[in-house]
Amino acid sequence: MTSILTNNSAMAALQTLRGITSNLQQTQSHVSSGLRIAKASDNAAYWSIATSMKSDNGAIGAVTDALGLGAAKVDTASTAVTSAIDIVGQIKNKLATAMEGSVDKKSVQGEIGQLQQQLQSVAQSASFNGENWVMAQNGGSASVVSSFIRGTNGTVSVSTTAYKFDSSSVGNVLFGTTAAGSLDTASGILGTKNTTVNASVFSLDISKMTSGQISSALNMVQTALNSMTSMGSKLGSISSRISLQTSFASSLSDSIQSGVGKLVDANMEQESSKLSALQTQQQLAIQSLSIANSSNQSILSLFRG
């Protein structure tokens, strides 16, 4: 039976066309965005995981920036310590020269005095972003970001590495500071007086010293060099950890990005092939609907005289 009110063929063709059009729109969205899962309705579980991991990746990026800032602080301090070691080494050489009785000690002291002033300049210049790790008050501390941690219970935290300042003669700062933050030339590795010599590396004056006193001063300078070497090692270990953590953070970020991609990225080869097939199906469905709609036209021939 043919009815002019109900065209079952046209309705079937239209339903098919709607399904194809919906699939085509979805595929076109995948192709244009590059995402298989772009919103929660696409796949709530995968979308939730991907969103959380993208947030973590952003935090890791921020931690990486903080690691770079920490590395700059430590590297600035390390550079200052290396320079100070070189200068104190020159002072040591001057003292060895002054051991010779015929040497003019006042002239040697003039050279030592210039080196001592350079030590102060090095310490005061070793500041990065307002922090100076080679010139600090005893008992104070500084810290650098070392890692980003997501706990198994979903909590997140950022860990730091602390560096506590010790302004004694065997501590980890070249000079101490006063409560007001100004340089204290009577503390630190270079400022603390040696009781035997009654002077520090910074205040040492050999103008009127005997050979025996200069020999004691030489031992005092060597002790300071040992302390600075130890200080440099501590800074080096922190720098090494920061470097390792930076490398790990970079690899972790890449791994997370790759993992998120596997969850939500569209397979472009597959989507391209699917898009071509759906476009062909859409054309055929439109043609089928057109044929179904034209079938009612044959009824008119029944009423022609």
What confidence tens digit (pLDDT) does each residue in 33-59 have? 777 788 888 788 888 888 888 888 888
Angle between helices 105-125 and 44-98 (to 10 degrees): 170
For residue 140, the SS3 value is coil
Query: Could you tell me if residue 78 is inside a domain?
Result: yes
Given pLDDT bands bounded at 50, 70 and 90, which one contains residue 219? very high
In terms of domains, do 239 and 297 share one? Answer: no
Model confidence at 80: pLDDT above 90 = yes
In terms of domains, do 88 and 117 share one? Answer: yes
Neighbouring CB atoms inside 10 A of 77's CB total 30
Compute, in degrees rounded to 10, the torsion defined by CA atoms 185, 79, 232, 179. Answer: 30
In terms of domains, do 70 and 123 share one? Answer: yes
> How far is Cα 112 from Cα 90, in angstroms, rounded to an integer?
8
Query: Could you tell me if residue 11 is inside a domain?
Result: no
Query: Could you tell me if residue 181 is inside a domain?
Result: yes
pTM here?
Answer: 0.74
Given pLDDT bands bounded at 50, 70 and 90, which one contains residue 18? confident
In terms of domains, do 97 and 121 share one? Answer: yes
In terms of domains, do 241 and 278 share one? Answer: no
Given pLDDT bands bounded at 50, 70 and 90, which one contains residue 291? confident
Model confidence at 79: pLDDT above 80 = yes
Across all residues in the chain, what is the average pLDDT? 86
As for how many domains the chain has, the answer is 2
In terms of domains, do 251 and 271 share one? Answer: no
pLDDT in the model for residue 295: 67
For 176, the token pair is 């101490």
**Percentage with pLDDT > 70 across the chain:** 93
Query: Could you tell me if residue 125 is inside a domain?
Result: yes
In terms of domains, do 239 and 283 share one? Answer: no
In terms of domains, do 275 and 259 share one? Answer: no
- Of the two residues 121 and 260, the one the predictor is more confident about is 121
What confidence tens digit (pLDDT) does each residue in 162-182 have? 889 999 999 999 999 988 889
In terms of domains, do 56 and 191 share one? Answer: yes
Query: Could you tell me if residue 33 is inside a domain?
Result: no
103: CATH:
1.20.1330.10
> How far is Cα 223 from Cα 172, in angstroms, rounded to an integer?
13
In terms of domains, do 102 and 209 share one? Answer: yes
Query: Could you tell me if residue 185 is inside a domain?
Result: yes
User: What value does the mean pLDDT take over residues 249-261?
Assistant: 86
Identify the domain containing residue 127 by its residue range: 44-263
Query: Could you tell me if residue 39 is inside a domain?
Result: no
Q: Do residues 31 and 275 touch, judged by C-beta distance below 8 A?
A: yes
Given pLDDT bands bounded at 50, 70 and 90, which one contains residue 154? low
What confidence tens digit (pLDDT) does each residue in 225-245 have? 999 999 999 999 989 888 888
In terms of domains, do 188 and 300 share one? Answer: no
pLDDT in the model for residue 1: 54
Query: Could you tell me if residue 6 is inside a domain?
Result: no
- Of the two residues 211 and 34, the one the predictor is more confident about is 211
In terms of domains, do 116 and 258 share one? Answer: yes
